Chains A and B, each alone.
Chain A
Amino acid sequence: MHPAPSVILFTALSGLGFGLLAFLGMGLPDVTGWVAFVFFFIAFALSVGGLLASTFHLGNPKNAMKAFSQWKTSWLSREGCLAVASLILMGLYAIGVIFFDTKLTQIGWIGALLSIGTVFTTSMIYAQLPTIPRWNHPLTSAYFLSLSIAGGALLAGQATAAGVLLLIAGAVQLLAWFDGDKRFAQRGHTIETATGLGDIGKVRMFEPPHTGTNYLLHEMVYMVARKHAQKLRIIAMVFMVILPAAILLLLPSNHMLALIAVISHLGGLFASRWLFFAEAEHVVGLYYGQR
């Protein structure tokens, strides 16, 4: 899949944002006033900013309001609904802690749950697609959720928890990678099943339908070199998980180090998310001889 910057930004940032909101909703860290304002500002900036970034991906954003209508069937619609619901609830909660020094605990907890739910719906947008075998698995949700929660903990200053959660997220990431590598073949999609011509013999593409490119090739048939991907996986793992976890778990807590941990995590997260898209193969590639 085409690793569009808008979706990478959206999923990475909003994941962090909603993760942070979840922690804030649970009262972690227990802050009020200006300090709370700063935390909430970051959380809202990330989650709302991420959502806004996602609209850059739209061909026709003026109809975006209609996207709340199909929650019965569409994970994307559900995501929109949950995102708005969690932002509203967490907004109320934030107003309480920032301006009135009041914790609407129940609203906070519900907001936290909705925030995590939002991340889950985001993950399901990808995990629901059988056309992209690498994504079409519960590990996709585990990957999004574990990173969102770990990132939220990191931003929420929950150093030890964050360190542990990051290691868990790292483990999930590794599992997602290595299990994902095999899934396309396991599902049995081949150029033969795509064309129905396997009974005759071995099938290969002779000529593409057009010599020029098209939306499908641009959007869904992205080829990443294996060597390149391996390098990026190492980078992602080191910066997203190992370095920040080491800082959090092994070094004394310190604002400067925390900042480094956050920046490192963010960098690694982008690399991981880039790979999430770039390595995902859509079955339509079979019709173009790509696999």
Chain B
Amino acid sequence: MTQLPAQTTRKLGLVIDLDTCVGCHACVISCKGWNTENYGAPLSDQDAYGEDPSGTFLNRVHSFEVKPEATPAQTIHFPKSCLHCDDAPCVTVCPTGASYKRVEDGIVLVNEKDCIGCGLCAWACPYGARELDKAAGVMKKCTLCVDRIYNENLPEEDREPACVRTCPANARHFGDFADPESNVSKLTRARGGMDLMPELGTKPVNKYLPPRPKDTMDEIDILAPLLAPVATETKGFLGWLDKALEKL
């Protein structure tokens, strides 16, 4: 059903912390592993050991470089997967109803049984969140691990997306944005969580926490008084030492 629900009961999504992501790709491969074995068709790879290997991934980590005016260029690792937009353009363009946004939690899913693999939803997505699997011919995307987060066969603490569970740097947080007291809502408020390409009006659910300011330590000598010399020559230093030891 490609009409978007007027509103969803919960708004499940991710907060990605660009201040702590070290770009290790753990989430990328954990996602690949879980989703190859689980929801729908496996994520296939073409020319896997050859000249031009490619494959389906639902989460990829980009690396950007940002050059501030006065300080050195910064490297920022940038994981990107489906943002489960409130106003998901990928859903409404689908001709078969395969793409849909769940009314209970807002997760955007593809019902592979209905997908014709036309690719239009991928065109409609600004974020590159959808990839057509070459072997299966159906559209693949992040399911927010819908087969983990409610899975009663998993211990409760594991009922979170595979990427969140595996992230060593704690750069990924999962929760309900409809609940203002959830971890993700609080983080978003506290750290100025932002939307990607807000000008497109997709209203992404996933938020990105911007990197904290870097290279702020002053180069000028304002801190120098803190390290004022205790003596200028060896003799003076030994005198200071003697006094300091006496105080111990």
Contact = CB atoms under 8 A, between A and B. Distances in A.
Interface in A84-138: 125, 128-132
A74 B122 contact: no
Interface range on chain A (Cβ under 8 Å from partner):
35 or more
B138 A59 contact: yes
Interface in A56-95: 57-61, 63-64, 66-70, 72-77, 80
Contacts of B127: 284, 287
A202 interface: yes
A214 B94 contact: no
Interface in B1-49: 1-3, 18, 28
Interface in B132-182: 132-134, 136-139
B237 interface: no
B239 interface: no
A76 B95 contact: yes
Contact of B123 (A129, A195, A212): A129
Interface stretch (B183-191, B194-202, B227-235): B194-202
Contacts of A132: 123
Interface of B: 1-3, 18, 28, 52-57, 60-69, 74-76, 78, 80, 89, 91-98, 113-120, 122-128, 131-134, 136-139, 194-201, 208, 210-211
A84 to B, nearest CB: 13
Nearest to B128: A284
A215 B78 contact: no
Given A66-B114, A201-B66, A201-B69, A283 B197 contact: yes
Interface stretch (A17-25, A32-40, A186-194): A186-194
Contacts of A80: 95
6 contacts: A58-B137, A125-B93, A130-B126, A197-B18, A197-B76, A199-B210
A253 B195 CA distance: 60
A219 B197 contact: no
Interface of B is mostly: loop
A282 interface: yes
Interface stretch (A155-163, A203-211, A231-239): A203-211
Contacts of B197: 189, 193-194, 283
A147 interface: no
A209 B61 contact: yes
A240 interface: no
Contacts of A284: 125-128
A220 interface: yes
Nearest to B113: A63
A59 B210 contact: no
A73 B98 CA distance: 13
A213 interface: yes
A200 interface: yes
A287 to B, nearest CB: 6
Interface centre among B57, B80, B89, B97 (most CB of A within 10 A): B97
Contacts of A130: 89, 126, 200-201
A195 B78 contact: yes
Contacts of B65: 203-206
Interface centre among B63, B65, B131, B138 (most CB of A within 10 A): B65
A206 B194 contact: no
A274 to B, nearest CB: 17
A187 B95 contact: no
B126 A201 contact: no
Contacts of B116: 58-61, 63-64, 66-67
Nearest to A125: B120
Given A57-B118, A206-B75, A215 B92 contact: no
Contacts of B69: 201
B64 A283 contact: no
A216 interface: yes
B199 A188 contact: yes
